[in-house]
Amino acid sequence: MISIKNDAQLDKMRDAGKLLHEIMGKLREVIRPGETTAAIDAYAEELIHRAGAIPSFLNYRGFPASICASVDDEVVHGIPTEGQVLQEGSILSIDCGLILDGWHADSAFTVGVGVISPQNQKLIEVTEECFFAGVRAAINGGRIGDIGHAVQTLAEAYGYGVIRDLTGHGIGRSMHEDPSVPNFGEPGRGARLRPGMTLAVEPMISMGNWQVKEMDDGWTIKTVDGSPCAHYEHTIAVNEDGLPEILTLPGFIWA
């Protein structure tokens, strides 16, 4: 069942989104060659706790960390470790979620570690563009399929692959609520979009094809063909009129 949030509940989600936005900004600043993903995770956990919030990933179905850290051909759900030292030229996806006063926020970004190839830079930029193309379609009266169709159309125009096995999701009192928000699909299909629907839209875009596999750690997802992959996610709210509000990008104004 899709839950519709009222104004007071949206205010709570705005607070959670604003906090996560601030924390993601701080995490970006510490990403550099030689840093370990475990250190970034420890910093994220400290920032979340210091703000009086709860890291939603930690212990989620047994996940051992507060962020997912996924490098190069790792798509999502990478487990931060002391042994994972960031290398110049890699791309790193950080996914993080928190609960503030009972309400969830979820967001992810991919950045280069030091200097990266133009190809990797393009992949990151197009993945962000895919997010915004998808979210532009998330308007009152539209359909869930409109979002995925917009993401897929743009990604494939660049020759990239859209990961299909993992999707975005509704979010609110729980991290994962209905509906599922695929990054591919047919326009005009799926659940009707309504004001007060809150969604985590999160394209995962590969430089190669879309097939993925799970690693032996039971979490990390990689591309089968070894292509690098980027991920970009925000928590959004569908508006009565016009384009959605991006709760984890407070102050964002649509151009």
Which stretches of the chain bind Mg ion, using CB under 5 A? 95, 106, 108, 200, 233
DSSP secondary structure code for residue 158 in this structure: T
Q: How far is the CB of 126 from Mg ion (least distance, A)?
A: 19
Complex with Mg ion: residue 135 or 200, whichever CB lies closer: 200
CB of 239 to Mg ion, least distance (A): 20
Take residue 216 and report the two structure tokens written for it. 């032996």
In the complex with Mg ion, the residue whose CB is nearer, 38 or 181, is 181
**Least distance to Mg ion, CB of residue 70, Å:** 11
Nearer to Mg ion, 146 or 233 (CB): 233
Strands (E), 48-101: 54-55, 67-71, 74-76, 91-100
* Cβ–Cβ under 8 Å, residues 150 and 137: yes
Provide the minimum distance between the beta carbon of 118 and Mg ion in the complex, in angstroms, as a whole number.
Answer: 27
Identity of the residue, 85 or 111, whose beta carbon is nearer to Mg ion in the bound complex: 111
Q: Does residue 153 sit in helix, strand or coil?
A: helix
Question: Between 114 and 183, whose beta carbon lies closer to Mg ion?
Answer: 183
Cβ closer to Mg ion: 133 or 200?
200
Token readout for 172 is 């609110």
Min separation Cβ 202 and Mg ion, Å: 5
From the CB of 235, what's the least distance to Mg ion, in Å?
Answer: 8
For helices 7-29 and 37-50, give the axis angle rounded to 10 degrees.
140
What single DSSP character describes residue 227? -
Q: What angle do CA 45, 47, 52 make, to 5 degrees?
A: 95
Helices of type H across 64-143: 118-136
